[in-house]
């Protein structure tokens, strides 16, 4: 009966993390229940999710998945954070909370199948939000078109100045 419960738990964990692009891991040893609740709230605001599972069960659940790289981080108490649409926003919420609460330490994570160290998770947290990055990309894509339109408008503008100068010359004569 116990093995059946563990097998069901592993299956549920595998289904939970298998389709996610970003999985972060933190050590929450020493945090109060109120602090953990606050952390969950902040992560939920970024459309992420935080859960706690036994490292041995998580080890089995991530075997043969893109998250298999997290196995070295499965030591001591582990909180698992699944990023929602914006991995940078979830990482920022985790990083900001770890700065406010020294008991929470970021271990690392996996993003699109690539292992992230603690430092890389912090770099991810310092990235601008997804919407800002999209706006920057669109601005970069729009710049050549806007420059070309400005060049064309400049030619027309100079032609109009020349016509206006001719008009003024004829009016004075």
- Asked if residues 66 and 109 have their Cβ atoms less than 8 Å apart, the reply is no
- Asked if residues 71 and 17 have their Cβ atoms less than 8 Å apart, the reply is no
Question: Residues 128, 130, 132, 136: what is their CA dihedral angle, to the nearest 10 degrees?
Answer: 100
Domain extents in the chain: 2-127, 128-173
| Residue from 88, 61, 85 nearest 74 by CA | 61
Which CATH code for domain 2-127? 3.30.70.1730
Burial of 169 (0-12, 13-18, 19+ CB in 10 A): exposed
Terminal CA-CA length for the chain: 107
Full strand arrangement of the beta sheet holding 22-27: 49-52, 79-82, 22-27, 105-111, 114-116
Output the pLDDT for position 6: 82
Q: What residues does 115 pair with on adjacent strands? A: 110
- Asked if residues 104 and 97 have their Cβ atoms less than 8 Å apart, the reply is yes
Is the whole model's pTM more than 0.85, yes or no? no
Question: Residues 131, 132, 135, 139: what is their CA dihedral angle, to the nearest 10 degrees?
Answer: -170
Output the pLDDT for position 41: 92
Burial of 62 (0-12, 13-18, 19+ CB in 10 A): buried
Output the pLDDT for position 1: 44
Could you read off the pLDDT tens digit of each residue along the chain, which spans 173 residues?
Answer: 468 888 888 888 887 777 788 889 998 888 888 888 898 999 998 888 888 888 888 888 888 777 787 888 888 888 899 887 888 888 898 999 888 888 888 888 888 888 888 898 888 888 887 778 888 888 888 888 888 888 888 888 888 888 888 888 888 87
């Amino acid at each position: 009966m116990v093995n059946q419960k563990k097998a069901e738990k592993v299956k549920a964990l595998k289904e939970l993390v298998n389709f996610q692009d970003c999985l972060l891991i933190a050590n929450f040893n020493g945090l109060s229940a109120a602090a953990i609740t606050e952390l969950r709230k902040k992560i939920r605001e970024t459309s992420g999710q935080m859960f706690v599972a036994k490292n041995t069960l998580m080890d089995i659940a991530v075997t043969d998945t893109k998250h298999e790289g997290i196995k070295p981080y499965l030591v001591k108490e582990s909180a698992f954070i699944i990023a929602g649409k914006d991995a940078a926003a979830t990482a920022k919420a985790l990083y900001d909370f770890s700065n406010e609460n020294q008991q929470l330490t970021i271990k690392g994570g996996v993003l699109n199948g690539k292992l992230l160290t603690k430092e890389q998770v912090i770099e991810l947290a310092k990235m601008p939000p997804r919407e800002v990055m999209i706006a920057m990309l669109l601005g970069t894509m729009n710049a050549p078109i806007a420059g070309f339109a400005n060049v064309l408008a400049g030619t027309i503008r100079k032609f109009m100045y020349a016509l206006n100068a001719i008009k003024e010359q004829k009016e004075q004569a």
